[in-house]
Structure 1
Amino acid sequence: MSDIRIGISGWRYGPWRKDFYPKGLRQDSELAFASRAVNSIEINGSFYSLQTPERYVSWRDETPDDFVFSVKGPRYITHVRRLKEIDEAIANFFASGPLLLGDKLGPFLWQFPPNMKFDQARFAEFFERLPRDRKSARDCARHCAERLQGNGGVAIKGNAKLRHAVEIRHESFICEEFIKLLRKHDVALVVADSAGKWPQYEDVTADFVYMRLHGDVELYSSGYTARALRHWKRRIQAWSTGGQVEDAKLILDAAPRRRKSRDVYCYFDNDQKVHAPYDARRLLEKLHLDFHLLTEPGVVPEVAL
């Protein structure tokens, strides 16, 4: 059975208050509310700055037992250093606490800037550096900066698998070499709907699929129509059963290895006009995945009071 996760990218947005979030809801209760309206959230604060172990633990503890987070990798690695001389930066990230999400930790998302071109050798080296399980992440974190040493950020046992997904925004990535590299390292190519602004391809390159829906017509702003949601529902159903839709837009014609199922993670990032949480709810309903959620928009769960 595949695990299908539909959610939102981030949860702390001013325009959502008194709309998706009920009037009077405390800001420190917004995660508790949102995590009972969708079944996954993409943490994007980690993109802008390193978070703390205490913050990851609080996020873990505020959410339901079967909840899952994805975690966005730091822009310092992807946008500032542009994958150059990043050994300590990667160690710092894993030392900062994402492993403390425990069983609620889903994939790591690595988003690259629109002006960054594909460099096969650089990306191959990056993929080889990425830890693929908790043990290798703990080993990586040992090389962190002195200020992070002993902070408890990797104080978790076990050796659960770690997953990684890559979102690209430059046309140079549209080449067979990139898809083959992703498949070699079992890294997912993000299926990114950006209202036509950036490349959107649907090559399956890992044992899971990662989607980011930034807006159907207008980037970050427009909502998804019922027809558009049916389009994505059909794709999610095909991917979750290990297959691919016949009209998939592909870079490489060669099909991925057939599987009985694939996990799917889908995040709505059209947050500017408060579409994201409602679109996520509607897609969950279309996939009949809303039966276990604990709240409806506008209804405050007891935990958030």
Structure 2
Amino acid sequence: MSDLRIGISGWRYVPWRGDFYPQKLTQKNELKFASRAVNSIEINGSFYSLQSPDLYSRWCADTPDDFVFSVKGPRFITHMRRLNDVETPLANFFASGIFQLKRKLGPILWQFPPNFKFEAQKFEHFLSLLPHDTQQAKACARGCDGRMEKSGYLDIPARGRVRHAVEIRNESFVTPDFIALLRKYKTAVVVADTAGKWPNVEDLTTDFVYLRLHGDKALYESGYTPAALKRWGDRIDAWRQGSQPEDAHLVSGKSGRARKSRDVFCYFDNDIKVRAPYDARKLLQRFGLDKHLAVAPGDLRGLEL
């Protein structure tokens, strides 16, 4: 059976308080609540700055046993260094404690800015540096700066896979050469709904699919209609069964490797007007996954704090 994760991008938003989050919920308990209303969350804080092993360990402890996090890679690598001389920054990231999430660690998301253009040689070098199992990740982490050598920084399991997904926002990536590189390095291309602002690419490049739904009418704002959610649910059904939607937006003329199933990770990022958690819940309901969750939006019942 494929694993289906539907959730939200981040969880700490002021407008959500007293709406998605119950009025009396304290800020320190927001992750506990959100992780019992959806079955996966993207960690956004790791994009802005390196977190700590203690913090990842706390997030792991605050969430249900069967929960999964995706972790957003640092913008220092993608936006500031722009993939130049990133060996040590990558080591710092893998030494920052993400493996304290233990079995709850899902894919790592690498998001690139709109003004970052595809350069095959540079991009392949970056992909070649990414660890795909925990042994490789530990070897990478050993190259970190001394400041990263905190308690638990090398507590990385001896066995386990590490998955990566790439989100692009420049038309120069819409080329078969980019898709070929992702397939070579077993990395997913993010299927991003961006109200038509940035490329929509749905090529299958590895054994899972990663979706980010930013809003189909207004970026980060608009909610999804029942018809829109049905469309995304139908696409998820196809991907979970190892196939493609008939109207898939493909860059490469070659189909992805045939599989019996694919895992799917879907995150709503239309958070400005408190749409994301409600849209995520509706899609969870489509697949009957809401029945296994402890709380509903705005309702403290079933949550022990």
Shared topology, TM-score over 0.5?
yes
8 A Cα contact 1:32 1:304, kept in partner: no
Give the match for residue 206 of structure 2: 206
Query: What is the deviation of 1:154?
Result: 2.5
- TM-score normalized by structure 2? 0.98
- Larger deviation, residues 291-300 vs 72-81: 291-300
Give me the whole-angstrom Cα distance separating, in 1, the residues matched to 2:206 and 2:227: 28
Query: What is the deviation of 1:24?
Result: 1.1
Give the match for residue 144 of structure 1: 144
Give me the whole-angstrom Cα distance separating, in 1, the residues matched to 2:266 and 2:302: 27
8 A Cα contact 2:51 2:97, kept in partner: yes
Give the match for residue 101 of structure 1: 101
8 A Cα contact 1:190 1:210, kept in partner: yes
Give me the whole-angstrom Cα distance separating, in 1, the residues matched to 2:51 and 2:231: 36
Give the match for residue 13 of structure 1: 13
In the TM superposition, what whole-angstrom CA distance separates every residue of 1:127-146 from its partner, at most 9, and x where no partner exists? 11001111111111111011
8 A Cα contact 1:47 1:75, kept in partner: yes
Give me the whole-angstrom Cα distance separating, in 2, the residues matched to 1:289 and 1:302: 16
Give the match for residue 235 of structure 1: 235
Give me the whole-angstrom Cα distance separating, in 2, the residues matched to 1:284 and 1:303: 19
Residue 123 of structure 2 is aligned to residue 120 of structure 1:
no
Give the match for residue 251 of structure 1: 251
Give the match for residue 74 of structure 2: 74
Letter in 2 for 1:138: K
Letter in 2 for 1:28: K
8 A Cα contact 2:132 2:161, kept in partner: yes
The 1:302–1:54 alpha-carbon spacing in structure 2 relative to 1, beyond 3 Å, is: farther
Give me the whole-angstrom Cα distance separating, in 2, the residues matched to 1:267 and 1:9: 6
Give me the whole-angstrom Cα distance separating, in 2, the residues matched to 1:261 and 1:16: 35
- TM-score normalized by structure 1? 0.98
In the TM superposition, what whole-angstrom CA distance separates every residue of 1:9-33 from its partner, at most 9, and x where no partner exists? 0000000000000001000000000
Q: Secondary structure at the match of 1:190?
A: strand
Query: What is the deviation of 1:280?
Result: 0.1
Give the match for residue 52 of structure 2: 52
Give the match for residue 197 of structure 2: 197
In the TM superposition, what whole-angstrom CA distance separates every residue of 1:214-272 from its partner, at most 9, and x where no partner exists? 00100000000000000100000000111101110110121111101100000000000
Give the match for residue 169 of structure 1: 169
8 A Cα contact 1:216 1:224, kept in partner: yes
8 A Cα contact 1:209 1:264, kept in partner: yes
Letter in 1 for 2:222: S
Q: Secondary structure at the match of 2:24?
A: coil
Letter in 1 for 2:56: Y
Give me the whole-angstrom Cα distance separating, in 1, the residues matched to 2:113 and 2:4: 28
8 A Cα contact 1:203 1:250, kept in partner: yes
Give the match for residue 179 of structure 2: 179
Q: Secondary structure at the match of 2:137?
A: helix
Give me the whole-angstrom Cα distance separating, in 2, the residues matched to 1:3 and 1:89: 31
Give the match for residue 33 of structure 2: 33
Figure out how many residues of one structure are paired with residues of the other and give that number: 305
Query: What is the deviation of 1:149?
Result: 1.8
Give me the whole-angstrom Cα distance separating, in 1, the residues matched to 2:141 and 2:235: 37
For structure 2, the 5+ residue unaligned runs are none
Query: What is the deviation of 1:302?
Result: 5.1
8 A Cα contact 2:92 2:144, kept in partner: yes
Give me the whole-angstrom Cα distance separating, in 2, the residues matched to 1:257 and 1:141: 31
Give me the whole-angstrom Cα distance separating, in 1, the residues matched to 2:93 and 2:277: 28
Give me the whole-angstrom Cα distance separating, in 2, the residues matched to 1:258 and 1:220: 34
